[in-house]
Amino acid sequence: MTKTDNSQVNFLDSQTFYMKKIIQSIIILFTVSNATPVFAQQDSTFFKNLEELIVTGQYKPQTLKKSVYQIKVINSERIKQSGATNVQQVLNNQLGFRFSNDNTLGTTDVQLMGMSGRNVKILLDGIPMVDRGDTRESLGQIDINSIERIEIVEGPMSVSYGSDALAGVINLITKKYKKDNFSITAKIQEETAGSEYHPFSYKGVHQQNLTLNYKKKYIGFAAGATHNDFNGFGGDAFGRAKTWKPKVQWMTNAKISFDKGPFNMYYRIDVLNEDIKSRNPINYNNYKAIDQQYITDRMTQQLQGGYTFSNKLQLATLLAYTDYKRRTKTTRHDFEKGTDELTTGEGEQDISKFNSFVFRTTLQYQISSKISLQPGVDINREAATGERILENPVITDYAAFISAEIKPTTKINIRPGLRFIKNSVYNAPPVIPSINTKFVLSKQLDLRLAYAYGFRSPALRELYFHFVDANHNIVGNPNLKAENSNSFNGSLNWIAIPKNNRTYSISLGGFYNAFNNQIDFALASAVSNQYTYFNVNKAKTIGGNIENRFSQKNLDITLGLSYIGFYRKLYDDKDFVKEDDKSFLWSPELNTSVGYQVNRLKTKFNLFYKLTGKKPQFVTGKNAVNQSVLLIAETAAYHLADFTSTTQINKYLNVTAGIKNIFNVTNVNNSAAASTSIHNAGYAVAIGYGRSYFVGLNFQWNKK
């Protein structure tokens, strides 16, 4: 471990002590609050959140409390208070979420409930997002300024949303404008990258946004544009070899809608251009350097509509087409001549193209007050071309599904579902079942229990995409089998009766997932250090969480804790010496937020904190006598905290400012620690670009 690493660990240890004191204080506050049976007014923000309409997985929009699914909602107010410049920053301090950064490519992946991003379905208004590689980089390519709220369903949603939804669904809901008016919204936000900053350009993080909205009777129109400029972080004296790659994004969107009587329809287009630059150090032998650009162009078009035949019968349909292109451009810059020339190495000049077509239609029919049905059809077609993609493949997935909501009494809701699949490439299971239930135990207490058969087909990138460059050597495997899982989850939710300016709620949840044929990386050739995808292991995850929320007048506090266990069995475990007898490896998380509104200053202050505990995992390696062994590699624990404030200047202007990454976390160590006879070299895991400071100015003008 380096001196810097030691100082980081000592810093984290000291901060752990102080955070424990803070957490103890919060717990005491909860205890004192619960000792007195007095709670908040019905019109508090707390209860407005419970009455907010949700759409993900629902037959029709309904309140969070009435849903048969356990759903988390991050609303527009929470997004604004975070000062986030992308969706990842909003999710980063949510319980169950972990992000991993590939600083070589400048991309970030997500983990949910201990499962990787390839098991998480990312939706934009219900439309699946397209990704080239394994990481869910699309989550960082969506304009945060166009998002009204984020709905998160944890657990398999394969019946409703098909493949990739083993861990759950993240649905990003764009803003809807319902009132007749014309409005202009503008935003500018400046942020340091650690201690690096230059006003409005160059060093730091710079964001500008402009949004226009017009609605008159039945017709609505909206358009927006956002520019994100991040000059990277770290690097040498010449601004090269940066740890965090410079990234520039241009994002635009437009929407036109028609809503009259029983018929509604809208068309929306989202366009992204992203340019990530990787500048290598100068070779002083010839005063040349290799530069790479990763250029992404993404265009998503969607057409959605619905017709209400009666209170008991509604039709909803969507069409979507995504055109995605990723270009790698590599040049050799000559500093003496001031010229650039294209290089000729493998994968250094490449264009990969992906396109996706989605058609989905559902019919909601209420047979009686006790039984409702939702049959539907879902068609997904993906195609790809490029030098790294084998045979220009096309995969088409045809599915029919049906579910029902059965309410034998007002206190019981049972939702069984079935999905039938026909795929052009692989043999899908004949049927995918699920059942979700909700029991109202009392006015304050709800119980939700669910079982689902999870299913994930091999992605096009896993079957046919070859990713070879200076840092990666991964080839696709067209013989992969589909993953499947049996998943059980449940939650118990209690909400106190509101009285005398206080509210309190508590949610206790648990889950168990058992996976078969899980797709993972494996070494295909030790000579070339080449990796490929295999159905190499069985895996299990098990865990529980508890989340609390307390509100009193201008104070809002949340506190959550989760504990997740991971089990992984290689098919060829018999070929390895297991130096540790552990079956499950466990990792904790804790998060809390405190919000306080100072009415006199028209300001709300927020503190967001999360402890991400040690993350152990089994890896293969060699011991002192050159035996093949299973080791336990651990990613160290770390703390993240943000402090923000939002101030209303007048009816047109508000200011958001604060500090992100208060504990100045950049990298944490990952090392193998299975026994005293094994010493694998550790490496740094990139977490953030240090403590940063930001201020944003938001302008909104409305004309009715």
Q: Average per-residue pLDDT in the chain?
A: 85
Q: In degrees to the nearest 10, what's the CA dihedral of 192, 233, 474, 117?
A: -20
What residues contact residue 454 under an 8 Å CB cut-off, 6+ apart? 156, 158, 165, 166, 483, 484, 485, 486, 487, 513, 515
Domain 3-60+72-173+180-703 fold: Maltoporin; Chain A (2.40.170)
* Mean pLDDT of all residues in 584-597: 94
pLDDT score, position 370:
95
The Cα–Cα gap between 607 and 610 comes to 10
Q: Is residue 623's pLDDT more than 80?
A: no
Predicted pLDDT of residue 683: 66
pLDDT for res 458: 82
Check whether 136 has a pLDDT greater than 50: yes
Q: Which helix (H) or strand (E) holds 311?
A: none
Is pLDDT of 528 > 70?
Answer: no
pLDDT of residue 309: 96
Which of the residue ranges 66-80, 125-139, 189-203, 630-644 would you say has the lowest mean pLDDT? Answer: 125-139
Query: What is the SS3 assignment for 507?
Result: strand
Q: What is the pLDDT of residue 612?
A: 94
Cα 155 → chain centroid? 14
Residue of 21 and 598 predicted with greater confidence? 598
pLDDT at 460: 77
Q: Where are the domains of the chain?
A: 3-60+72-173+180-703
Residue 42's pLDDT band, with cuts at 50, 70 and 90, is very low
Q: What residues contact 105, with CB distance under 8 A and at least 6 apart? A: 245, 276, 294
| Banded model confidence at residue 51, pLDDT cuts 50, 70, 90 | low
Question: Is the alpha carbon torsion for 160, 165, 167, 169 positive or negative?
Answer: negative
pLDDT level of residue 347 (50, 70, 90 thresholds): confident
Name residue 444's amino acid: Q
48 band by pLDDT with thresholds 50, 70 and 90: low
Model pTM greater than 0.85?
yes
Beta-carbon contacts of 500 under 8 Å, excluding residues fewer than 6 positions away, are: 38, 39, 40
Once rounded to an integer, what is the mean pLDDT over residues 573-586?
A: 70
Strand partners, 539: 515, 568
Most confident of 52-56, 85-89, 319-323: 319-323
Which pLDDT belongs to residue 112? 84
Torsion angle of the four alpha carbons 10, 13, 14, 18, in this order, in degrees rounded to the nearest 10 = 160
What kind and span of H or E run contains 142? none
Pick 243 or 178 by higher pLDDT: 243
SS3 for 240-302, per residue?
CCCCECCEEEEEEEEEEEEEECCEEEEEEEEEEEEEEEEECCCECCCCEEEEEEEEEEEEEEE
Beta-strand relationship, 120-124 and 168-174? parallel
Do 30 and 505 touch, CB atoms closer than 8 A? no
> Mapping DSSP to helix (H, G, I), strand (E, B) and coil, where does residue 461 land?
helix
Total number of residues shown for the chain: 704
3-state SS, residue 140? helix
**What is the C-alpha to C-alpha distance for residues 105 and 87, in angstroms, rounded to an integer?**
19
pLDDT band at 579 (very low <50, low <70, confident <90, very high): low
Nearest CA to 521 among 476, 576, 554? 476
Torsion of CA 75, 78, 80, 86, to 10 degrees: -80
CA distances from 439 to 301, 367, 453 (A): 40, 21, 22
For the stretch 655-674, pLDDT in tens is 999 999 999 999 998 875 43
pLDDT in tens, 196-212: 999 998 899 999 999 99
Q: What is the pLDDT of residue 676?
A: 34
The bridge status of strand 683-686 relative to strand 667-672 is antiparallel
Higher pLDDT, 691 or 20: 691
Contact in structure between 328 and 296 (CB atoms under 8 Å): no
Helix, strand, coil abundance in the chain, percent, nearest 5: 10, 60, 30
Contacts 24+ apart (CB under 8 A), 260-266: 260/218, 262/307, 262/308, 262/309, 263/305, 263/306, 263/307, 263/308, 264/305, 264/306, 264/307, 265/303, 265/304, 265/305, 265/306, 266/220, 266/303, 266/304, 266/305
| Burial class for 23, CB neighbours closer than 10 Å (0-12, 13-18, 19+) | middle
The answer for 602, left when phi > 0, alpha when psi is -120 to 50, beta otherwise, is left
pLDDT of residue 356: 94
58/126 Cα distance (integer angstroms): 11
**For residues 464 and 480, is the Cβ–Cβ distance under 8 A?**
no
Give 291's strand partners.
279, 331
Name the nearest CA neighbour of 473 among 535, 521, 536.
Answer: 521
